[in-house]
Structure 1
């Protein structure tokens, strides 16, 4: 399958997931979620959804549990919105890149303060 089509489907899924999670799911465990990326396999059988959650570790894990519970509903909504022969199986994962970037920025600012203090 063409990589362009796979990327287009991933972008469409990302857009629809933001709408579905934000407006359709009423689970109180699910906090403020941002869908940061969607990776779809070339055969469109699997989709890995990367999320960022505002809050502490407990809120993050509660949100992940709520999304896992609503996985069937989310998948059926995606199937209705995106015309595909078979809707991909979805899995949710935390997007660690934001925290990783913040950690690098914090280290660089500490190094900068140390070099200015000498």
Structure 2
């Protein structure tokens, strides 16, 4: 039951912050920020807000500073719209999702290239021994089949 409430509040906080950022802050440092996830502690006192920023490293740093500066305002907005007795503290954490996705893409590309190289080597390869090394039961000729019957 508590986990269900925690999940509902996390989703609600994510929507409230995303809508507020969509309206815009009066901070020119804030870039194109996307709220990816919000995780609440079990006692609902702290919310870790994960976000990504589209742009360069400098734009990411500027957006992080803008979010840090706007934390109080965003927390009061969350408190107003949530209607809970104790408003959770907000902590903005850059989400490493895009970097991880790029890394995984490069690993997959490298694996594909290696697979293609191995397939190229295998195309011209010959078997070291017999083509089919497994022993098969020999087929009985007609005389042996008659004897067994």
**TM-score grouping bracket, smaller chain normalisation:** over 0.9
The equivalent residue for 1:113 is 113
Cα shift at 1:98: 2.8
Quote the residue 1:36 is aligned against. 36
**Alignment match, 1:4:** 4
Structure 1 residues 90-99 or 69-78, which shifts more?
A: 90-99
Q: Following superposition of structure 1 onto structure 2, how do residues 1-118 of structure 1 map, counting pairs within 5 Å?
A: 2-117=2-117, 118=120
Deviation, structure 1 residue 26? 2.1
Structure 1 residue ranges without an equivalent (≥5): none
CA shift at 1:114, angstroms? 2.9
Q: Which has the larger radius of gyration?
A: 2
> What TM-score, normalized to structure 1?
0.94
Alpha-carbon separation, structure 2, partners of 1:116 and 1:75 = 53
Matched length: 118
Distance 1:110 1:101 in 2: 14
Question: Scaled by the length of structure 2, what TM-score is found?
Answer: 0.75
The alpha-carbon deviation at position 104 of structure 1 amounts to 0.9
Q: What secondary structure, in the 3-state scheme, does the structure 2 residue paired with 1:70 have? A: helix
After TM superposition, where is structure 1 displaced by more than 2 Å over at least 4 residues in a row? none
Measured after TM superposition, the shift of residue 83 of structure 1 is 0.9
Residues of 2 paired with 1:8 and 1:115: CA distance?
Answer: 45
Cα-to-partner distance string for 1:5-61 (whole Å, 9 max, x where unaligned): 000000011111110112141211000000000011111111100000001111101
